A and B are shown apart, each in its own frame.
Chain A
Amino acid sequence: MTLLTTVFAAVICTVIWYRSAPQSDMKVGALCWMYWGASIMWLVDAIFEYAELGAEYFSPSPVDMLNDFFLGLSVVAFGMIIWLIILLAKDPKGVVKAILLKKSAKREVQP
């Protein structure tokens, strides 16, 4: 379920990225890389689990599914927080810079 949640997040982010490409004002590409990277790694985990459990892997208990879905959503949220930090740090639209420069300009005018 975690893998499935991350794959869905990766696909949605890739579609959003493609719609705004080649401009990358919102740095959605960073989210795509993160979710695709994690999806590939969890795919390996899933293969190992399938090798261990066999067909049982595809019929998890509802509690396990809910827990894994909760984890998947948390992972997606964590990825979005990382993306937000990257967006504000790189500030491609110059919004943060403009706010900071405005304040410092005001300070210069005051004395």
Chain B
Amino acid sequence: MACFLVPAAEAVITSVVAKAVKSKEKEEIINISLPDGSIEEVAKTPFSKKLGWLNKLLWGGSALLAFEHVWHGEVVPFFPFLTAVKDGETTEMLAEMSSAGVIMAVLVTVVWVGMLVVSSAVEKRALRSSEFTKEGVQT
């Protein structure tokens, strides 16, 4: 009916948060020693960029789901835009939004949190291996 509106609403919030975070964020640069003795500057992925992943998942998914709703005639290009509201099925629509819509938004966020965990582990592992290299060069 209109379940895509919940992830779309989350996308609006996360987009605003991402912009706010980006404006306050400073680039974190780490110097790592390479086996040949040279030092390379590496920038850690900022949180605003990681929040951007969530934005893209939410906006992209909502856009394609909105298309599906237009396809099924659940969203129309004239007021009130939602067929359920026009047909007096607002309560059912809200029930669907609070069940399927909320679970969609939660699942996308859970997947994103999983991505954060994996990316952080990859970053840590890369830094650890570079430290090992550093020690190797010194000894």
Contact = CB atoms under 8 A, between A and B. Distances in A.
| A joins B in a complex | yes
Interface string B53-75: 10011111111110110010000
Chain B facing A: main interface SS: helix
User: Which of B4, B7, B58, B104 neighbours the largest number of chain A CB atoms within 10 Å of its CB?
Assistant: B104
Contacts of B53: 33
A38 B104 CA distance: 10
B64 A45 contact: no
A43 B65 CA distance: 12
Interface in A54-82: 71, 74-75, 78-79, 82
A44 B101 CA distance: 9
Contacts of B4: 41
A79 B61 CA distance: 10
Interface residues of B, number: 24
A2 B68 contact: yes
B107 to A, nearest CB: 5
B104 to A, nearest CB: 4
A36 interface: yes
User: Which of B59, B61, B100, B107 neighbours the largest number of chain A CB atoms within 10 Å of its CB?
Assistant: B61
B21 interface: no
A43 B128 CA distance: 37
A44 B52 CA distance: 22
B111 interface: yes
A1 interface: no
Contacts of B60: 30, 33-38, 79, 82
Interface in A9-68: 29-30, 33-45, 48
Contacts of A79: 60, 63-64
Contacts of A36: 57, 60-61
Contacts of A39: 61
User: Which of B53, B62, B64, B103 neighbours the largest number of chain A CB atoms within 10 Å of its CB?
Assistant: B64
The 10 A-B pairs with the shortest beta carbon distances in the complex, nearest first, are A37-B61, A34-B60, A33-B56, A38-B64, A37-B57, A37-B60, A41-B104, A38-B61, A41-B61, A44-B104
10 contacts: A6-B64, A33-B56, A36-B57, A37-B58, A39-B61, A41-B65, A43-B107, A44-B100, A44-B107, A82-B63
